[in-house]
Structure 1
Amino acid sequence: MIFIENDGHTNPKLNLALEEYILRHFSADEDYLLFYINEPSIIIGRNQNTLEEINQTYIEDHNIHVVRRISGGGAVYHDFGNLNFSFITNHDGKSLSNFKKFTEPVIKVLKSLGLNAELKGRNDIEVDDKKISGTAQFSTGKRMVSHGTLLLDTDLSEVAKALTVKMSKIQSKGHKSVRSRVANISEFLKAPLTIQEFRQLVLEGLYEEREPFKTYQLTLEEWSAIHALKSEKYDTWEWNYGRSPKFNVQRSKRFSIGEIDLRIFVEKGYIMEFKIFGDFFGKEPVVHLEQLLTGLRYDHAEISNVLEDVNLNEYFGALQKEAFIELIYGEDE
């Protein structure tokens, strides 16, 4: 097995691009191991509805990355207290969905640190019935990636805040994440470890499991290609949000001018249909607004930009524009 150094990069978009690049372009004659530690971020499963999984206002206010990964499963929170591991190997038809095969060496390392770790369910590592690691897989051709998290000292309060959605009513065909009871590995250690100390111990333990072990430094050309993949895919709104499954949103609120009831059909992150109902009095027919908003990305900034020069008083009476935008794309109080 070859361990690939990521040179200490903590940008989740770059690290996921690195992982995919190794999967698709490195020799199929070798197995690879990758470690990375990410800045605060929400990592969304491939088949999930991003908007349903996250507290958009909170993540924007706290500069938390939102990135979709290529594997399925639920949304997870990463920060500097979380170590991510990734095995990139061939699959023989039996390895895919065989999480035990890839978690066993990790569990052995955890046990050597005094943790009563075990694989529970399909893809979680638990200690005393508390989840300290989740794993996921993706395959392409003959190659596959099996990756997971190791919660050493993650800010668990941020997990709840960043992954709690407050949209009033939403129905989705996406896979909603099931929140599990989670704990940090640090809670079970006899002596504290920094994330770098923990990383080194896990790496040494895996070295013992998979000899011979080599370490590889990426070339400048390879890094250039990885940065290009990041730019073309992982930096894009279309990948991180736009690939979300379609869903229906209903948002309503009573203002001094009456009730406004919005029915919005969003598909792949774009507003495909927008209908306005209510008991307000307005001069202009709201169909003009509906047509104006149809076809836009379901994105706060884009909606705000389009409505910038629109006089909403012509449609609703004395209604503040910010209040209407908040109704379309805001968070409930």
Structure 2
Amino acid sequence: MTKAYYYISTSQDPYYNIALEDYLYRQLRSLETIYFLWINRPSVFMGRYQHAEAELDVEYLQKRGIALLRRTSGGGTVYHDEGNLNFSVIKNGEESKGFDLAACPQPVQSALAKKGVEVVRSPRGDLRLDGLKVGGSAEAMTRGRLLYHICLLFDTDLEELDRILTVAPGTKVRSRVASVRSKVTNLRPTLPLGYTITDFQTLILDELRGMEEELVPLVLDDEAEEYIQRKRAEQFEHPDWIHSLIGKAKES
């Protein structure tokens, strides 16, 4: 019987969670499939090839004390808060044959369908509800292993999202890969009264249990914690990584 594993982070520290995701992706290659669910305090995640000043109001972010991070995956800049559920899929496969990216958000779509909520995957790979974006995805692949993650807007502060992702007037610098701006909405209003983000998380987990032959919780050891803390300090929280010119294009 093929086992799939899941892990639910108990931390809302974005630097910790992105380092934890990196551990699941890079260090647990012997595990065929891992699902990771996580929620962050207010923070902004840029794609690997993006430049902060081209994607968001950096001054406003700093005044609000909101964390800024750079992913190792591509894609655009997204805002996280306690109303945003992040769902990661980590799988082994053969890169030469490609990965079925459309299958990755299917558990979310199927779970919501059971509540009468239809979300569709757009040609760009995001999830949409009545034409409005409710989930933006990105992925990375290395040596036959896929990392796919999607941030799901459950009950996010959309005003704050819009304010942060509004670039300061007169900005000339550009990202190598610019974000594609879309109108967004939350899933929460479509679900039963009193429905929480924890309920939403459980709904997805129940769907995964029905899809997999066996789904078991993943237990991390001290070695994992050491990797997470080291990776966090040396990469994800380090200014050289966050403000690297890897994502900066020439000024227009």
* Matching residue of 1:330: none
Report the structure number with the largest CA radius of gyration: 1
Match of 1:32 in 2: 34
Aligned position for 1:307: none
Q: Aligned in 2, Cα 1:169/1:221: closer, same or farther, shift over 3 Å? A: closer
After TM superposition, the score normalised by the length of structure 1 is 0.71
- 1:215: which partner in 2? 217
Partner of 2:8: 5
Considering only aligned residues, what root-mean-square deviation do their CA atoms show, in Å? Answer: 1.7
Partner of 2:65: 63
Are the aligned partners of 2:54 and 2:175 in contact in 1 as well (CA < 8 Å)? no
- Structure 2 equivalent of residue 74 of structure 1: 76
Following superposition of structure 1 onto structure 2, how do residues 150-169 of structure 1 map, counting pairs within 5 Å?
150-169=152-171
Pairwise mapping of residues 143-154 of structure 1 onto structure 2 (< 5 A)?
143-154=145-156
**Shift in Å, 1:30:** 2.2
* 8 A contact 1:45–1:74 mirrored in 2: yes
Q: Which runs of 5+ in 2 are unaligned?
A: none
- Give the drift of 1:131: 1.1
Which residue in 1 is equivalent to 2:176? 174
Moved more, 160-169 or 52-61: 160-169
Structure 1 residue 9: Cα displacement: 0.7
| 1:235 Cα offset (Å) | 0.8
Unaligned runs of 5+ in 1: 251-333
TM-score by length of 2: 0.93
Which residue of structure 1 lines up, in the alignment, with residue 204 of structure 2? 202
| Per-residue Cα deviation, 1:86-137 (whole angstroms, up to 9, x for no partner) | 11111323443x3211112221011112101111123111111111111111
Higher relative contact order (CA 8 A, sep 6+): 2
Give the equivalent residue in structure 2 for 1:287: none
Match of 1:41 among 29, 40, 43: 43
Share of identical aligned residues, percent? 32
> 2:169 & 2:238 partners in 1: Cα distance?
24
**Cα drift, residue 196 of structure 1:** 1.5
Deviations 1:184-234 (A, max 9, x none): 001211323121222112111221112310101211221121111101100
| Separation of aligned partners in 1, 2:8 and 2:240 | 29
Write the deviation string for residues 285-319 of structure 1: whole angstroms up to 9, x where unpaired: xxxxxxxxxxxxxxxxxxxxxxxxxxxxxxxxxxx
Corresponding position of 1:111: 113
Q: 1:174 to 1:213 in 2, by over 3 A?
A: same
Residue of structure 2 in register with 1:83 after alignment: 85
Query: Which residue type is aligned with residue 23 of structure 1?
Result: Y
C-alpha distance in 1 between matches for 2:30 and 2:98: 15
Report the residue type matching 1:107 in the other structure: Q
Paired residue type of 1:4: Y
